[in-house]
């Protein structure tokens, strides 16, 4: 009887510790990566963000960023001395399945406006992208040119290429499966109109090409 108790005790003790050790607690649901081989080498992958459905929260300096949403949270006065917008979205693959989160900080710097994207895919890691250029200004100008700032929804879609070769769009750093990668990306907004709350409707397309170094 005593030996049975001891064996059961050891089984219970070892079983719990084995579960603690062997169960993959940190595993995330993994959606099949939709990647392809780029023509001149590297791995190509395109991500999408549907507006306004995928927007999570925006923090903005409304005075200097005319496209700031009415619902945007405002930066405090001590930080409102330079243009700044932080946008947060759910990130989709090319098929439209949510696979992660995307964060973009647009910040005024001594050399002009610059944007930094953090593309976070929980099952794969994070890819940080950056580009120079007055991205909010380009977007606002494109909308003004087409009359998009009026409250009337447009019948046709407009396309605004924001991160292009001239703005030096680059991969800054990656983690986990993206660790050690280099590369570049492009960012294009396909805008189909404004909804009744004044929010942009359309799709942001991030196309990345990365090389493992």
Partner 1 sequence: MRLLIVWLGGFVLGALAAAVTLYFDPLAAQSDVASEAVGEGTQNLHYAVGGSDAFALTHAAPPGLKTHPASVPTLFEAALAKTALGVFLLTDDVGVGVAVATRISKLSNQTNPLTKGIVLADDWIVSVPGSGTYVVEQQSNVWPLLRDTVVDVGLLKRAWSDHREFPVTIGPGIGGQALVTGASGIYRDVGGTAVERMSLDGFMALGQLPDALAGTLTVTLQAPSAAEATEPTLSAAEDSP
Residues 167-186 that bind partner 1 (CB under 8 A): 172-173, 175-176
Residue that the structure tokens 């493992």 belong to: 212
28: tokens are 């995330």
Q: Rule CB under 8 A: choose which of 45, 48, 61, 202 binds partner 1.
A: 61
Of the candidates 182, 194, 189, 181, the one whose C-alpha atom is nearest the C-alpha of residue 205 is 189
Provide, rounded to whole angstroms, the least separation between the CB of residue 178 and partner 1.
11
In the three-class reduction of DSSP (H, G, I as helix; E, B as strand; rest coil), residue 12 is classed as helix
Contact between 78 and partner 1 per CB under 8 A: yes
Strand 200-212 relative to strand 181-194, pairing: antiparallel
Degrees to nearest 5, angle at CA 87 with 97 and 170? 80
Q: Rule CB under 8 A: choose which of 34, 43, 90, 190 binds partner 1.
A: 90
- Of residues 11 through 40, those in contact with partner 1 by CB under 8 A are 11-17, 20-21, 24-31
Provide, rounded to whole angstroms, the least separation between the CB of residue 93 and partner 1.
10
For partner 1, the closer of residues 32 and 155 by Cβ is 32
């Amino acid at each position: 009887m005593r030996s049975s108790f001891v064996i059961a005790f050891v089984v219970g003790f070892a079983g719990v510790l084995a579960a603690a050790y062997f169960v993959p607690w940190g595993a995330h649901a993994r959606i099949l990566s939709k990647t392809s081989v780029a023509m001149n080498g590297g791995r190509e992958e395109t991500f999408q963000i549907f507006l306004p459905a995928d927007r999570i929260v925006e923090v903005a300096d409304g005075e200097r960023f005319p496209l700031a949403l009415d619902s945007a949270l405002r930066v405090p006065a001590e930080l409102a001395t330079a243009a700044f917008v932080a946008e947060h979205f759910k990130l989709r693959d090319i098929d439209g399945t949510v696979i992660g989160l995307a964060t973009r900080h647009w910040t005024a710097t001594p050399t002009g406006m610059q944007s930094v994207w953090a593309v976070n895919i929980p099952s794969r890691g994070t890819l940080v992208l950056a580009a120079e250029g007055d991205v909010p200004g380009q977007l606002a100008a494109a909308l003004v040119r087409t009359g998009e700032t009026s409250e009337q929804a447009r019948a046709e879609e407009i396309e605004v290429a924001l991160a292009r070769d001239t703005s030096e769009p680059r991969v800054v750093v990656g983690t986990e499966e993206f660790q050690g990668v280099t590369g570049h990306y492009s960012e294009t907004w396909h805008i189909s109109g404004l909804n009744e709350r004044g929010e942009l409707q359309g799709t942001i397309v991030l196309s990345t090409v990365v090389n493992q170094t």
